[in-house]
Amino acid sequence: MDEKKIPITRSSMPSYEEYIDAIKPLWDSRWLTNMGIYHRKLEKQLKEYLKVPEVSLMVNGHMALELTIQAMEFPPGSEVITTPFTFISTTHAIIRNNLTPVFCDVKESDGTMDENKIEKLITEKTVAIVPVHVYGYICNVEAIDKIAKKYGLKVIYDAAHAFGETYKGIGVGNFGDASVFSFHATKVFHTIEGGAVVFSDHNLYEKLYNLKNFGIRGEELVTDVGANAKMNEFAAIMGLCNLKYIEKEIIQREKRVKYYQQLIENIDGVRLFATNPGVKYNYAYFPIRICERERAYARERVYDYMRKFGVMVRKYFFPLVTDQVCFGDKYKHSDIAVARKVSKEVLILPLYSELDLETIKDISELIMQAVQS
């Protein structure tokens, strides 16, 4: 392997010429934001691609989740069951709505919320469940739906990693009361920065519109107190360009994931996450687990070894949300033993559509050397 660093990901982009040509009309119209024609066009195309009834575009995935929770109008102090094995945004969105996160443990097989541990966490204060489709591995949506209906709870999926995926032929955004996607530059599909909420209740569209646009409904009319979370036209155009190539992007990622699997699955001390045959994946990430039981800190050793050779692997997610400094000791005693175990073993390997197969072979050989050292 050469001395050049191998990044964990690399943003997919249309050609320079294609994007520049696409944004040229903005110099004529000067309509750069405020739900312009490209914003509306991207919403329409995403409805079709994601196979969902409604789409509301946002400035980023975090605001999409935060405003969706706000739109549900839960009483302050209510409890929301969520996962500690996620990006910090998931928990921040709950807390910034004056709600209390209650952390449910995850399944060792795929890192998603353990549906068998949800009910024991439900109290009279519980109003919602916010599960996460981790790395694109889909939660047990049937079981979660059954629990939610039994107790009258809302379900908002953090689907930041699951863009374009389907489960049993159904677009993943159709599960729960709403699903939230991130269109950050590091994602399979991106708008540079951006996000979206997908759902079926049109009343939610109106609420989200107000929340993301100051509550403005006319030149002299403000009907609600809102924020500013609109996607601009430059971002929307990047999304329209990238959406044309999303299937090719996923095919290239799948090819690389399957090659990784072929090379790594039989290495002693390395485990892969379980896949569900009912899911059409987007191959957003390639996580492995370093599980050498006889050695302490095995993942740390592998992480350091890979970085020494310029392979920018990531410990994603570590530390757990519950263990972040911003929360002090507030959540450290949560009953999340499996999440703690997985977070100390997981390692994300480089993955993007242009990653050279020979480089994947080199990375896999380094993994083997590291676990055997």
- Cβ distance 82 to 94 under 8 Å? yes
pLDDT, tens only, 29-42: 999 999 999 999 99
Cα angle value 249/255/259 (rounded, 5°): 145
284 and 232 inside one domain: no
288 and 309 inside one domain: yes
Indicate the pTM of the whole model: 0.96
Query: Where a domain ends, among 243, 274, 304?
Result: 243
225 and 114 inside one domain: yes
- In Å, how far from its chain's centre is CA 300? 24
Residue 11 falls within a domain, yes or no?
Answer: no
- Residue 311 sits in a domain whose CATH number is 3.90.1150.10
**Per-residue pLDDT, 149:** 98
How many other CB atoms sit within 10 Å of the CB of residue 36? 19
Measuring CA to CA, how many Å separate 249 from each of 46, 182, 255? 16, 17, 10
- Cβ distance 310 to 6 under 8 Å? yes
Which DSSP string do the residues of 91-148 spell out, in sequence order? HHHHHTTT-EEEEPPB-TTTSSB-GGGSGGG--TTEEEEE-B-GGGPPP-HHHHHHHH
**Per-residue pLDDT, 369:** 95
CA gap 201, 68 in Å, rounded: 12
287 and 217 inside one domain: no
319 and 355 inside one domain: yes
| Residue 16: both structure tokens together | 């320079």
- Cβ distance 56 to 205 under 8 Å? yes
**Per-residue pLDDT, 228:** 97
CA gap 93, 23 in Å, rounded: 32
- Beta-carbon contacts of 360 under 8 Å, excluding residues fewer than 6 positions away, are 256, 259, 260, 263
- Give the chain's domain count: 2
**Per-residue pLDDT, 297:** 73
How many other CB atoms sit within 10 Å of the CB of residue 250? 21
Residue 2 falls within a domain, yes or no?
Answer: no
168 and 275 inside one domain: no
Q: How many residues does the chain have?
A: 373
**Per-residue pLDDT, 373:** 78
| Residue 327: both structure tokens together | 């929360």
| Residue 333: both structure tokens together | 């005693």
Query: Where a domain ends, among 243, 266, 300?
Result: 243
**Per-residue pLDDT, 102:** 98
**Residues of the chain whose pLDDT is less than 70?**
1-3, 292-296
Range of the domain at 165: 16-243
- Cβ distance 306 to 334 under 8 Å? no
- Residue 143 sits in a domain whose CATH number is 3.40.640.10
Query: Where a domain ends, among 208, 243, 278?
Result: 243
197 and 267 inside one domain: no
